[in-house]
Structure 1
Amino acid sequence: MINFNIIQDFRDQVNANSHYTWYAYQNKNGKNYWNIICACMDWIDVGLECMDGFSFDRKKLGARGLEVFTYISAIDIVWESIQQLHRAIINENEVPFSGEKEVFINDVLHKDDNAYFKHIRAVFGAHPVNLSKDKNNDKWFASWPTTGIHEKYDVALYLYNVDPSKDDIIFGFKFAELNEFFTKRYNHLSYLAKKLEEQYQDYKSSLILNKIRPTTNIEDQLDILEEELNKRLSNDYFEHLVDQIKRIYKATVTNENNRETIEDYRGKVKRVVEELTIKIQNVDYTDLEMDHIVYSNHPQEIHYELSKLFECLYGHRKDEAYDYYIERVSKFLNPYVQIDKTMSADEIFLLLHVGLYNYWDSV
């Protein structure tokens, strides 16, 4: 039974922490390790899906020899992918479990587990009649796989030497050992996920020590926060919130009847900026407690018109019904702000936020 949670947990870690892994690995020492990480995760999924549900029938080995090879190849795909992940995340010159001889106890070739597995893959289907020469420069060829030629193995074959004076070798494996080899290496993903989290925490600690420059000018503060977000981890929610607030402060007030209400609202938005500054300083990209001041729900009565109006104000589309949307929304929000279709897009944008906040504050 394949534990798919291990690869899913690794994927979750890769995508966690405001996509730190993408930020750190999309250009590391001039190489795009992010692409490597994505490719490896995808191929691990392919290998696991192939392995899941595999069963072995001794009576049909001749006919199903390639199915055994497919199972071995699926393990190899997963293992190769994990090696690449290890190189990308830990050390590009290091292969995990090198030198270990803990799994294949009947190792007639005196190889470590990694090398023994590669030999299993080669002789059981990858290139059984074109095997590499051994350390003694001997050339070997594999027979077809069978059962019962040696009790130490579930599946075995003969390795024939091209030198007629040399004896054949019985070579094989047990499925229990093969699965142990796979499990140990597959579980290495949990270690790699832990290392990604440690790397993120180290990076986060370094950012926290880098204090954000304070200023009493709210618009300057927003520019500073925008710069800090570019230096730190990208976060769509925080970046959009900063853009929204900058536009709220950017607008020029043309109707003096709205000024007092606007200034009161902007004073509340300033508290959002203060919370934003603290969170960015601490690299805490969880939602703000006070973002409701900027992000208001749309009242049901004008939900459609508001949605269309905001699309126009964001510049996503032009709409011939723009004046109609303004008329409907301004009438609904008239107890709180006065909106006129001749106002600039920035001023209408501001007044919508002011009006919506005061509407919900009054109900």
Structure 2
Amino acid sequence: MNPYTLDDSLLQQFKQAVFDHDDFLINAYCDFNGENRWNLICSAKDWLSVSVNGLPYIDLNHEIDDVRSLNVAQLIMTYDIVVESVKKLLQVFDLEHLLKGDNSIFNKPVPDDRYFKQIRACFAAHPVDFDSTDGVKVKVKGSNQKPERYLASWSSDVGGNADYSVYLYSNKPGSDPIPFLMNFAQIHAYTAKRYSLLADIVKAIEEKKEMFSQEQSQRPIRRSANVVEQLQILLQENDVRIREGDGYHYQIKALIDLFTAPQEFNEQEQEAIAPYLRLLKPLVEEIYQRCKPCGMCQTRLYFDPPSLV
């Protein structure tokens, strides 16, 4: 089993926040300035789940050298998925990326994000074609001078002071190979530090939902003594505050159908139907009270009309 894993509880907090507030998130982000950010939230959530839950099963001690190299590549690409997913979520919720210029993990002249991409290039993403040996791109002077490109040897865990290493070869004749080293603990620390920003994203979801609820609570909902008219008002408010087909849309429509259904029954059946409809009226008030104080339900009201049979 791979010891370099990420805290599953943080992922669960994020997934729970998305689940608890999905009505709000869909309404707010399915068309955000012409962009479907809700789809981005779902994509990031899914791939974070794949990555965090799959990490423990990456075998870094496989007996075959080539398999170990591929598994190292898988580890690095999995970390990259986590980092990029968190980065995209920060953008969705307009949060500042506080670690954008951080270089505290690798302690290199370039930010950790750029150096990690160098590691990714050498060991996983495109080891046969990259433009730097240390994450710093060399500026080429003169239009006739071809830029220097680099290629990595196969990765190995044999010898050296690192967990894995490659040799970087230049496309320039006569250049000496350059060793490039990588430590599992470092790339794990780098990823875990950025993964921890999910806590800020969870907080942002809850704060934005609360802000939306406060804004909606300032919008009054008109009252009507007529139960059907009140339900139609609630249906309209529900569709405006959330969107048609979500929130209490189904429950309100079911109640409207029940209260407006033909009642051409005999006297005995009328005696059974009248108290049944009276029992449904408190549900109308309950929906009103749930919508009025917060603008969007914190909890779902499950409504299954009882059978008349």
TM-score with structure 1 setting the length: 0.69
Contact kept in structure 2, 1:219 and 1:249, CA below 8 Å: yes
| Coordinate RMSD, CA, aligned | 3.1
Residues 95-131 of structure 1 show CA distances to partners (whole Å, capped at 9, x for unaligned) of: 56211011113x3xx2211111110011113222311
Change (3 A) 1:219 1:63: closer
CA contact (8 A) 2:150 2:169 kept: yes
Q: Which residue number corresponds to residue 114 of structure 1? A: 113
Count of aligned pairs between the two proteins: 290
Offset from partner CA, 1:15-39 (integer Å, 9 cap, x none)? 2135322222111111111222222
SS of 2:57's partner is: coil
Correspondent of 2:190 among 170, 181, 192: 181
CA contact (8 A) 2:59 2:71 kept: no
Aligned to 1:245: 255
Letter in 1 for 2:249: E
Q: Does structure 2 conserve the Cα–Cα contact (< 8 Å) formed by 1:104 and 1:173?
A: no
2:103 equivalent in structure 1: 101
Q: Deviations over 1:64-106 (max 9, x none)?
A: 3222112111211222222222222225xx656211011113x
When residues 124 and 262 of structure 1 are mapped into structure 2, their CA distance, relative to the original with a 3 A threshold, is closer
Query: How far, CA to CA, are the matches of 1:202 and 1:80 in structure 2?
Result: 27
**Larger deviation, residues 59-68 vs 112-121:** 59-68
Within 1, Cα distance between the matches of 2:225 and 2:193? 57
Please show how residues 35-114 of structure 1 align to structure 2 within 5 Å.
Answer: 35-57=39-61, 61=65, 64-90=68-94, 97-105=99-107, 107=108, 110-114=109-113
SS of equivalent to 1:52: helix
Q: Give the alignment partner of residue 200 of structure 1, picking from 196, 209, 215.
A: 209
202-211 vs 239-248, greater mean Cα deviation: 239-248
Deviation at 1:165, TM superposition (A): 7.2
Equivalent position SS for 2:21: helix
Structure 2 counterpart SS, 1:160:
strand
Q: Which ranges of structure 1 fall in alignment gaps of 5 or more residues?
A: 299-351, 357-363
In structure 2, give the amino acid aligned to 1:242: I
Q: 8 Å contact 2:23–2:246 — kept in the other structure?
A: no
**Could you list the per-position Cα deviations for residues 244-289 of structure 1 after superposition, in whole angstroms to 9, with x for gaps in the alignment?**
3223321344457366765555444333322221111123353669
Comparing 213-222 with 234-243, greater Cα deviation is found at 234-243
Deviations 1:308-360 (A, max 9, x none): xxxxxxxxxxxxxxxxxxxxxxxxxxxxxxxxxxxxxxxxxxxx2xxx7xxxx
TM-score normalised by L of structure 2: 0.80
Structure number with higher relative contact order (C-alpha < 8 Å, ≥ 6 residues apart): 2
Letter in 2 for 1:179: H
With over 3 angstroms needed to count, the CA separation of the structure-2 counterparts of 1:167 and 1:46, relative to structure 1, is same
Instruction: For 1:120, give the aligned amino acid.
Output: I
Task: Report the 3-state secondary structure (helix = DSSP H, G, I; strand = E; otherwise coil) of the residue aligned with 1:170.
Answer: strand
Is the alpha carbon distance of 1:56 and 1:255 closer, same or farther for their aligned partners in structure 2, counting shifts above 3 Å?
closer
- Distance change (3 Å), C-alpha of 1:111 and 1:167: farther
Structure 2 unmatched runs, 5+ = 141-147
Q: 2:124 — aligned with what?
A: 125
CA distance in 1, matches of 2:53, 2:39: 22
**Contact 2:23–2:247 (Cα < 8 Å) also in 1:** no
Q: 2:32 and 2:258 mapped to 1: Cα distance?
A: 38
